[in-house]
A and B are shown apart, each in its own frame.
Chain A
Amino acid sequence: MIGALVAGITGSGGASLSSYESIATATGTGSSNTITFSSIPSTFKHLQIRYIGRTDNSATSRNYYIRLNSDSGANYAYHRLYGDGSTTGAEGYASQTEAYCFSSMPGALAGTNTMGVAITDLLDYSSSTKNKTLRTFHAFDNNGSGNVNISSGLWINTAAVTSITIVMATGNWTTSSTFALYGIKEA
């Protein structure tokens, strides 16, 4: 039985309930490896992207990566902590042309209808004085294979983030891949 709504949460504070807002959504086309959120307003404090994905490439899983403001220069670094069901590992890379998220999106050889999932957080994205750090919790389970990952990414640029591009490194995002960008306001 669904419990009763807690009055203190619903309250009269409508503003508090709108502090987490949906900005935009995107869906894979099956013929493109790129998802772009552009013209991101600067009116929020933080951003979060929640997504499920799959590639049409003939593999069990593939990597994807993130770029900010369409910057393809060697202005990124990233780290990953991961477990694959039997072993753990950690890796890091500097002076890269994108922030990679490894091995967490299933491909055509994975179980039918099985999707990878991810949550990417970008705090203080419109700051003009801070380099930008991404945090991504991303994973897939394929009932006998799969991995769980915690990744960080650094964009060495103090510009406000106005666009985010999520690129499937091999193959295209399937039409079952969906992405949702949310903005989180400060008080």
Chain B
Amino acid sequence: MPAGATYEPLATTTLTGTQATIDFNSISGSYTDLVISLYAQNAAASTGTRTGLMKLNSDSGTNYSYTTINGNGTAAASTRASSQSGGIFYAELVRAGNGANMFGFARISLFNYAGSTNKTILSESSADINGSGFVTRIVGLWRSTSAITSISLIGGSEGFTAGTTATLYGIKAA
């Protein structure tokens, strides 16, 4: 890896079978921000989408909250959840029941992840199912001043399917 790379891939996972979570552990604190690019499918046999939640540092306390805006093809809506223990909502996950080749996209930014303020994340989620789906933008808060050292992406109650791929990048400012 060239010295001084600014936008650096740290890890990639591509699933070969159904898996409940995708985890990134032992994350180095030497970057400024982290970005996760995710192309995913939830393993539910039904149609529609499933909520994807993310936990940080294995925290299961009521330390998560989020605010969203979404469009479903006919209307826009905004939602909020406070003091959650299940994690931060990061994406609407396309279910396998919509078709084996139907996947959804999410790009998640974790800002100043090793700093001493509470952790705020942004997520862009796109789930189009040819006649239904959501485009969603999310801000999430983890009320902890600890550095983020692990990230767990939860694939909904059924988990992620094979073919789901996630890459963790580190971005380093000068």
Contacts and interface: CB of A to CB of B under 8 A. Distances in A.
A17 B174 contact: no
Contacts of A142: 65, 141
Interface stretch (B4-12, B49-57, B95-103, B155-163): B4-12
A115 B140 CA distance: 11
Interface string B135-172: 00111110101000000000000000000000110011
Nearest to B124: A137
Contacts of A111: 118, 143
A10 B173 CA distance: 20
Interface string A81-121: 11111111000000000000000000000010111110100
B174 to A, nearest CB: 4
A165 B6 CA distance: 23
Contact of A1 (B1, B12, B23, B66): B23
Interface string B69-83: 110000011111011
Task: Give the size category of B's interface with A.
Answer: 35 or more
B21 interface: no
A55 interface: no
A14 interface: yes
B172 A22 contact: yes
A147 interface: yes
Contacts, number: 167
A102 B4 CA distance: 35
B88 to A, nearest CB: 9
Contact of B122 (A24, A85, A119, A176): A119
Interface string A56-97: 000000000000000000000000011111111000000000
B78 A83 contact: yes
Contact of B67 (A18, A24, A50, A148): A148
B112 interface: yes
Nearest to A15: B2
Interface stretch (B24-32, B40-48, B126-134): B24-32
Given A5-B11, A22-B172, A22-B174, A52 B66 contact: no
B122 A83 contact: no
Given A114-B141, A115-B111, A17 B173 contact: no
A11 B93 CA distance: 31
Given A50-B173, A141-B67, 8 more contacts: A1-B23, A4-B11, A14-B2, A50-B109, A82-B69, A114-B141, A117-B139, A139-B139
Interface of B: 1-2, 4-13, 23-27, 32-33, 65-70, 76-80, 82-83, 109, 111-112, 116-118, 120-122, 124, 137-141, 143, 145, 167-168, 171-174
6 A-B pairs closest in CB distance: A83-B78, A85-B80, A83-B69, A139-B139, A180-B173, A20-B7
